[in-house]
C-alpha cells in the first residue's frame, strides 16, 4: 500500500528542525499541505519556503511556544483559519535541559519541561482532536521517548513528562475513537542537532545498549510517522511504537 496524503493537512510542532523537519518534508512529499510550528518563526518560514519550492504544497509557518496554553489555542485558530481543517497532528516539540543535580532542579525548569512536553500536547490534542472527532476524523501522533520507560538521573523531569504523554496517548485514543486515531512513537536516541549537547562519550555508551549498535539518523523517523499518520495504520490506535534501535 502506497502512502497517499493528498488533500490532507498536517500540523507538526517543533517542526523546523530535527525529527520535526524530517516529518514535515515527508508529509509534503506524500501530498500533504503542512503547518510548521516552533518558537523560531524565521526557521519555520525557511522550511515552508523549501516545501513550496520542492513539492508545490501549501505551507504555513507559525511561531508557537507549546508550553503556553494561549499560544496553543492561537496555533489552532491560525491552522483552521488558513486551511479549515487539520487531518494529522504531530506533537513533536520537546525539551530536556541539563541540570547539575536533581536537588538543583528549579521550579521554573520543572514547569517549563512539563509545559512543553506534556501540557502543550494535552491542549493541542484536546482542541484539535475534538474538531477531528466532530468532523472527518484524523490521526494524532505523539513523539514520546525511551526515557518514559527507562528514566535516568540526567533527564528525570523529561522522563516524567514523556511517561505522562504515553498515558495521554492511550486516554485520548479512547476519548476520540473511533474516528480519531491517537498513537505515539517512543523514540530512542537520534543524531539531531540536539545531540551536539550530549555529554562526551554518551553516543558510544548508549550505542552499546542498542541491538542495532548505533543511534538513529533523523530520516529514520519517517517510516513510523507516515505509517501512523496515514490509512496504513487504520486499525492502530492507543499504541506506543518503540523506535529505539532495540534498546535494553
Q: Give domain limits for the chain.
A: 9-243
CA gap 216, 228 in Å, rounded: 19
Let me know: does 5 contact 230? Beta carbons within 8 Å. Answer: yes
User: What is the arithmetic mean of pLDDT over 156-179?
Assistant: 98
Cα separations (Å) of 132 from 20, 124, 138, 188? 22, 12, 6, 29
Q: Is 80 a catalytic residue?
A: no
Query: Tens digit of pLDDT for each residue in 119-147?
Result: 999 999 999 999 999 999 999 999 999 99
**List 55, 99, 158, 176, catalytic entry:** 158
Fold of the domain built from segment(s) 9-243: Rossmann fold (3.40.50)
- Give the model's pLDDT for residue 54: 98
Query: Tens digit of pLDDT for each residue in 195-213?
Result: 566 566 666 667 778 899 9
pTM of the full predicted structure? 0.95
User: What is the arithmetic mean of pLDDT over 199-228?
Assistant: 85
Query: Tens digit of pLDDT for each residue in 52-104?
Result: 999 999 999 999 999 999 999 999 999 999 999 999 999 999 999 989 999 99
**List 162, 227, 230, 233, catalytic entry:** 162
Q: Is 40 a catalytic residue?
A: no
- Give the model's pLDDT for residue 1: 61
Cα separations (Å) of 248 from 144, 155, 156, 210? 17, 17, 18, 7
Amino acid at each position: 500500500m502506497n502512502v497517499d496524503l493528498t488533500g490532507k493537512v498536517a500540523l507538526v510542532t517543533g517542526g523546523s528542525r530535527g525529527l520535526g523537519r524530517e516529518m514535515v518534508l515527508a508529509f509534503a512529499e506524500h501530498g500533504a499541505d503542512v503547518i510548521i510550528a516552533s518558537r523560531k518563526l524565521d526557521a519555520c518560514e525557511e522550511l515552508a519556503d523549501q516545501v513550496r519550492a520542492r513539492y508545490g504544497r501549501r505551507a504555513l509557518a507559525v511561531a508557537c511556544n507549546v508550553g503556553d496554553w494561549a499560544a496553543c489555542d492561537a496555533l489552532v485558530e491560525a491552522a483552521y483559519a488558513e486551511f479549515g481543517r487539520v487531518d494529522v497532528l504531530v506533537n513533536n516539540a520537546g525539551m530536556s535541559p541539563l541540570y547539575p543535580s536533581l536537588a538543583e532542579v528549579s521550579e521554573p525548569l520543572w514547569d517549563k519541561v512539563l509545559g512543553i512536553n506534556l501540557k502543550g500536547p494535552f491542549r493541542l490534542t484536546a482542541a484539535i482532536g475534538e474538531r477531528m472527532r466532530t468532523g472527518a476524523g484524523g490521526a494524532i501522533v505523539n513523539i514520546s521517548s525511551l526515557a518514559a520507560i527507562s528514566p535516568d538521573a540526567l533527564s528525570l523531569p523529561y522522563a516524567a513528562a514523556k511517561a505522562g504523554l504515553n498515558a495521554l496517548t492511550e486516554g485520548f485514543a479512547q476519548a476520540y475513537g473511533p474516528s480519531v486515531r491517537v498513537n505515539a512513537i517512543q523514540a530512542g536516541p537520534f543524531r539531531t542537532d540536539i545531540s551536539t549537547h550530549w555529554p562526551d562519550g554518551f553516543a558510544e555508551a548508549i550505542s552499546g545498549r542498542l541491538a542495532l549498535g548505533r543511534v538513529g539518523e533523523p530520516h529514520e523517523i519517517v517510516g513510523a510517522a507516515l505509517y501512523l499518520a496515514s490509512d496504513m495504520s487504520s486499525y492502530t490506535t492507543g499504541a506506543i511504537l518503540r523506535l529505539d534501535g532495540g534498546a535494553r
